[in-house]
Structure 1
């Protein structure tokens, strides 16, 4: 009964539009995916025109492709920080379960680009040591130049990022379109906290702490503090309106 009364009080005091805060990360993800596709297309188009460039004034084709990948990695790091901040704000607003479920997609962006960048770095070291300078290909048995290996790795990177970005975008769009209530209003957090609490006989026995439980408690406290502040402002506003109404009737 206490949980239902608290839920009814929160719903009547705040409108759904005030309680719901959309996660506006789709432009960032679209920009990141477009940057990756641009780097991939450039890696295939650039060799067609690179022979006409002056090698004395321009870096090699292989180095240029590596510079593009480094630029993409920097953009991915910035995008990851922006996306993480927006999801942290959503968590502090009470949307805990959704953000935990979508966390693997968030981490996949930076992990994929970083892994491919490391693979390109290893490829660059191997090509520098074992690919002859006077020949275009690294081996007579495999007719591939260092630029071809970069194209293969960038293609693999895009094949991983494309479905991840699409899955993330679909879930974010569905979340923003559904306008769900915070988890605490649905009772999910309270029930999960009660199930996660240790039994009486376990108190003082286990030395390890449940990080998930502490995180839920901290986020619940933050959400309730914000809601308490909103209630205080509404009470002051109603008191002021009541005072003006009483003065008008005197």
Structure 2
């Protein structure tokens, strides 16, 4: 055979054997628009049910203080109605009714605090770290003030002071609690309702969106810098890592679902 004669066999095209079947399926599969994926992720927003709990606790607190004032006036300060009140309250008495009511109210405040902390921790794991940090102090204030009020009531009840003065001091403590705790609950309710209505994206998505689409955006720095709290940086990074794990899982699930739909 003449070596100068062209070969009868055509050279086979080069094949990239390093590309896996998974990559082939992803490349050959239908393309998914960013808007469709973003809208699918936004549907995963979960509202916080705690505004209803805070509103109910506020109403309960107002009712308790109102009834306590009526019991103190009718059953303690007015001597003519003491016997009638004792027949209704039996062995509990006016002071006992106020104290037992205060204990039940404190239990409800404790249950609200536990419930609110649970739901806000869930929101933090879903990526809403800024909202969690902004609202967590307000969650503890009602319980702190009620616990302090319980200590004050205990000191007043065991102290050796005239009965009328003791009653006025008890009512003053209850009124102070109401004036401090009620604005906290109203503020908390308003902020959470706004959060539920905004249905904002998680913090990471908001920062990424502002970084990519803002003309005057400044690159977001990550890490420890002078003047910042190391504990805060570590806490934030831990929360972001936990969120990114769940976010990647959600992205994979949505990609599979949208690919199957297309």
Report the TM-score range of the alignment, normalised by the length of the smaller protein: 0.7 to 0.9
Q: Deviations over 1:164-217 (max 9, x none)?
A: 1111111111111112111001227x9998354258xxxxxxxxx822222212
Going from structure 1 to structure 2, the CA distance change for 1:182 and 1:110 (only over 3 Å counts) comes to: same
* Aligned-partner Cα distance in 1 for 2:243–2:219: 16
Alignment CA distance shift 1:99-1:241 (3 Å): closer
In structure 1, the gaps of 5 or more residues are 1-8, 132-136, 139-143, 200-208, 243-250
Give the conservation status (yes or no) of the 8 Å contact 1:91–1:99: yes
Distance, in Å, in 2 between the alignment partners of 1:106 and 1:234 is 34
User: Contact conserved, 1:19 with 1:181, CA < 8 A, in 2?
Assistant: no
Q: What does residue 213 of structure 1 align with?
A: 233
List per-residue Cα deviations over 1:135-173 (Å, max 9, x = no partner).
Answer: xx44xxxxx343322111111100001211111111111
Partner of 1:98: 131
What is aligned with 1:234?
A: 254
| 1:21–1:41 distance in 2 versus 1, CA, 3 Å | same
Q: CA deviation at 1:20?
A: 2.7
User: In the alignment, is the contact (CA less than 8 A) between 1:73 and 1:113 conserved in 2?
Assistant: yes
Q: CA deviation at 1:237?
A: 3.1
Work out the CA distance in 2 between the residues paired with 1:35 and 1:28. Answer: 10
In the TM superposition, what is the alpha-carbon distance from 1:12 to its structure 2 partner? 5.2
The match for 1:58 is 91
Q: Establish whether residue 153 from structure 1 lines up as the match of residue 173 from structure 2.
A: yes
The partner residue of 1:108 within 128, 141, 149 is 141
CA, structure 1 residues 149+211, in 2 after alignment: closer, same or farther (shift >3 Å)? Answer: same
Tell me how far 1:108 sits from its aligned partner. 0.9
Q: If the length of structure 2 is used for normalisation, what is the TM-score?
A: 0.71
- What TM-score results when the alignment is normalised by the length of structure 1? 0.74
CA contact (8 A) 1:80 1:106 kept: yes
Deviation at residue 239 of structure 1 after TM alignment: 5.2
Gaps of 5+ in 2: 1-32, 76-80, 212-217
Higher-Rg structure is 2
Q: 1:56 to 1:31 in 2, by over 3 A?
A: closer
Name the residue aligned to 1:43. Answer: 68
Please identify, of 74-83 and 169-178, the stretch whose mean Cα deviation from structure 2 is larger.
Answer: 169-178
Structure 1 counterpart of 2:154: 121
CA contact (8 A) 2:89 2:97 kept: no
Distance in 2 separating the partners of 1:68 and 1:37: 12
CA–CA separation in structure 2 for the residues paired with 1:10 and 1:85 = 33
**Number of positions where the alignment pairs a residue of Structure 1 with one of Structure 2:** 212
Alignment of 1:1-250 (within 5 A): 13-15=37-39, 17-47=42-72, 48=74, 51=82, 52=84, 53-54=86-87, 57-126=90-159, 130-131=160-161, 137-138=162-163, 144-187=164-207, 194-198=221-225, 210-238=230-258, 240=260
